[in-house]
Structure 1
Amino acid sequence: MNQLLAIRAFARVVEAGSFTKAADSLDMPNATLSKLVQELEAHLAVRLLQRTTRRVTVTPEGQLYYEKTNLILRNLEDVDTSFNVARSKPRGHLRVDVGGSTASDVLIPALPDFMARYPDIRVDLGVSDRSVDMVSDNVDCVIRGGALDNSSLVARPVGQAAMVTCATPEYLKQYGVPAYPDELKNGHRLVAYVLAQSGRAMPFRFLREGEKSEIKVEHRVGVNESNGHMAAGMAGLGIIQTFAYAARPALADGTLVEILKPWRPAPYPFHVVYPQNRHVPHRLRVFIDWLVETLPDRL
C-alpha cells in the first residue's frame, strides 16, 4: 500500500463528502480511490468511514485520524513548496469560481495577461452566481462581491465596483424618467436581481450625501444570474440596478441610459476568497496576487 497516497485519498473523501467527488478531484478512478481507503482501514484495523448508498460519514476515529494526518500533509506540502518555489515556475491546475458578469466583463478579458505570464498553469472557470462549497467542490478560490459571512474563509480585497441605475430610452419614454428614488414605487417596472440561493430579491439601494436608502418594491421580472439580469434591462423589461462595468458598453452606445445619478449606490466590494485550513500552493498565490494587481482597474 502507498500509505501517503491512501492518506491523501482518505482526506479528499472527508473534505468532499463523497467518493465520486474525491475521485474526480484527484483524477483517479472511483474504484482505485475506494481500494486505497479500504487498504488504509485494514492497515489501521479501524473503520474510518461509514458508507451507505446515499452518503459517506466520518467515524469518530476517522475524524481524529483526518485531523492528525491533515497536519502532516500540510507540513509536507510546505516543505515541498520551500524547495520548489525558488527554482521552478508555478504550474498545475487552478479551479476558480466566479459570477457571470464578473467573468464575462472583468476576469476573462484580463485573463490572457495571466496566461502569458504563467503558461504552465491551467485554469478552469466555474461561472455561476450560485454559491459553491469550496471544500467539497474542490475549488481553489472564489471571486465574489458583497458582504462576507463565512469566517472560515480567507478573503483579500480585489477592488470595488461602481453601481448604476439604468433603463432603455424606450422604457423611459413610455414610463418617464424618475427624478427621485421614491418615484420608483409609483408605476415603474423594476427588474430585480434575485439571489440564487435564497430566491430573495435584492432591494434597490441609493446613497446621497452620506445618507443611505433602500427601495423594496414588488418586481414584475426577477433574474438570478447577472448576465441575464443585464439582458432583461437591455430588452426594455424595466429599470435595473447593476455594476457599472457590466453596463458600460450599453451606456456608451445609448442602449441604456443612467438615471438617478446623484443617488448612485455605494461601491460594491469584491474579494478573492479561499479556505484558510488548506495549504496555498504557489500557483494559487500568484493568481491571487495577479487579481489584486489587475482587477481594481477593471471593476
Structure 2
Amino acid sequence: MAGTNCTQVTEFSLKGFTEDPVTQVTLFLMFLLIYLATILGNLGMIALIKMSPQLHSPMYYFLGNLAFVDLCSSTVITPKMLSDFIAEKKGVAYAGCMAQVFIFDLFGMTECFLLATMAYDRYMAICHPLVYPLVMSPKCCFQLVTGSYLLGLTNGMGQTISMSNLSFCSSSVIDLFFCDISPLISLSTSDTTLSHVILRTSASLFGVSSSLVVLVSYAAIISAILSIRSAEGKHKAFSTCASHLTTVSIFYGTSLFMYLKPSSESSGGGDKWAAVFYTVVTPMLNPLIYSLRNKEVKEALRRLTKRK
C-alpha cells in the first residue's frame, strides 16, 4: 500500500520510442502518413457504403461500423503520439490519461466483437446461404453491432474504474507512447491485485472468446471451400479468407500478447512495436484488406465516380 504521505501524480510522462531527433522526425513523417491513410481509407469506406445502395447488406453494414471504430481508436492514440515527436515535454494529465484508457479500451474491445460478428456473417453466407437472409436480418445485425458497442463500453468502464482506484506516488514515466493499462499497473504504488484480475479476466473472457468465434467460423468456411469443385472458385474463396485472417491475426495476436503476458515479462521495444500494430497499423490496413480488394466495393466506387 502507498504511504500516508503519498502525493498523487497529476501528470504522466510518455517515454515514446527514442530520444534521437533524426529518428523522431523520421517516425513523425511515417506515422503521419499512416494516420492520413487511416482517415482517408476509413472515412472513404463509410461514405461509399452509405452512398451505394448495392452495398446496403449485412457484410457492409459491419464493415462500415468497423471503419468507424478504427477511425475513433486511431484518433485516440495517433495525434497525441505525433505531437510528442515534436514537443519538448511529452506529458499527459492524469485525467487525460484515464480518458485515453477508457476510450481506447471501449473501441478496442468493440473491434474484437465486430471482427467476430463479421466472421460469423461470412460463415452463415458461405455455409448456410439458404437461411442467411432470415438469420442475418436487419434487426439481428443491429443487435449484434449494438451488443459489440455495449461490451466495449463495459470493458472500458471496468478498466478505467480499476485504474482510478490505484495510487501513483513514485515514478510517473510510462514506457510507451500512450496511456495503456499494463504500464500503468506497473507504475502504481498501491495493491494492483484487483486491477490484474480485471485485466486478465477481460482479455481472457472477451478477447479469447471473440477470437475463438473467428477461428471456428473460418475453420467451417475453409471446410466448405474445400468441397467446392471449381479450382477457380476455391482460389477466389481462399484468397478472400486469407486476406481477412491476416488482419485478424495481426490484431488479435499483438493485442493478446500485450494483455495476457505476465507484467514481469516486459520486452521494452518489443512491446512498443507490438502496440503499434494494433493501435496504428491495423486501422489503416482494414479498409484495404477487408474492402478495397472486394470486387463489389470496386464496382460501387466506379459507379459512384461515373455518376459524379
**Normalising to structure 2: TM-score of the pair?**
0.22
Higher RCO (C-alpha under 8 Å, 6+ residues apart)? 2
Higher strand share: 1
Structure with more of its chain in helix, by fraction: 2
TM-score normalised by length of structure 1: 0.23
